[in-house]
Amino acid sequence: MQSISTHTCAVLRMFVLGATFASSSVCSAQQVDYILDTGVGSFNIGPAGFDANVTWINSFDTVTGGELINNVSVSYGDIEDNSGTIGSDVVTLAILSDPNNDHDPSDAVLLSTTVVQWQDTGFGEFVDYPIQATQVEGVFFVAVVMDVLNRANPCSMDPNSPSAGTQSWLFYNPEENLNDLGSSPFILHMSESAFIGAWMVRATGEPAAQCIADITGDGQLNFFDVSAFLSLFAAQDSVADLNDDGQFNFFDISTFLTLFSSGCP
């Protein structure tokens, strides 16, 4: 389940005719919340029989307008073992891509990591962590990684998630293994485990920065963009109708030149 909160996203094209040029902040109020849980975690999981580096992962489908992941929220269980020894409170939050978009992270490619600190939350209480903004597409993964003592249970789960564990995974490793999760000695797909549910791990995304004048989409503004625009304009392609009025005329060219000269974010 993914909820989208879309506030008014003013259309750039409305601004160009009025000669007031919109910046990318026009759409900054929009964000997408990536959530599998129902808000209530009711059991916590961790290694039994050994200490382990534990990676718990939820997968999500990228939603348009939420391609730039900028926040991860986690609800935790405890980091204390049965004898009261407190384990490490260092947490690595990671965003990974899924090359084949099948929600199985054994082939995941690491995109970014942000090191944060575990906090003592109650069931269903989340800690919000701003992370290094990371652009995603298709299926992506949000991972939480900790060194965990035998019989500490930091991974909080919602057994009532509609995803029924299909988008949640658990890995035990001797040490952090985000670059090769498929080689982990212990891999559990939660839908096929005794603990069916989704991790209490969420993310928030905002729209990736748009650069309209970069017609070729290579992140650079140069002659090829001018050439591509003029070709589209000559072909009356809707992409070249920059003020979105269905006409191809001076205003579109003027708009393009102004966007081009103001550069990309």
Rounded to a whole number of angstroms, the minimum distance from the CB of residue 206 to Ca ion is 23
Choice from 33, 61, 104, 176 touching Ca ion (CB under 5 A):
104
Q: Please, what sign has the CA dihedral across residues 31, 35, 38, 44?
A: negative
Q: Check binding of 12 to Ca ion (CB under 5 A).
A: no
Give least dist CB 249 to Ca ion, A. Answer: 6
Among 252, 256, 259, 260, which residue sits at the site for Ca ion (rule: CB under 5 A)?
Answer: 252
Cβ-based nearer residue to Ca ion, 6 or 179: 179
- Which pair of tokens denotes residue 191? 């839908």
Q: Residue 20, interface with Ca ion (CB under 5 A)? A: no
Q: What is the DSSP string of 64-132?
A: TT--EEEEEEE-B---B-TTS-B---EEEEEEEE-TT-SS-GGG-EEEEEEEEE---PPTT--EEEEEE
Closer CB to Ca ion, 102 or 237, in the complex: 102
Near Ca ion by CB under 5 A: residue from 30, 225, 232, 260:
225
Closest approach, Cβ 8 to Ca ion, in A, equals 23
- Give the shortest CB-238-to-Ca ion separation in angstroms: 9
User: What are the distances in angstroms from CA 122 to CA 34, 111, 133, 140, 241?
Assistant: 21, 30, 27, 27, 53
b (16+ CB within 10 A) / e for 10-32: eebbebbeeeeebeeebbeebbb
Say whether residue 241 binds Ca ion (CB under 5 A): yes
Three-class secondary structure of residue 142 per DSSP? strand
Cα 220 to chain centroid, rounded: 24
Answer for which of 2, 5, 183, 247 binds Ca ion (CB under 5 A) is 247
DSSP state of 151: T
Nearer to Ca ion, 199 or 256 (CB): 256
Q: Find the binder of Ca ion among 153, 214, 229, 256 (CB under 5 A).
A: 214
Chain residues binding Ca ion by CB under 5 A are: 98, 100, 102, 104, 107, 214, 216, 218, 220, 225, 241, 243, 245, 247, 252
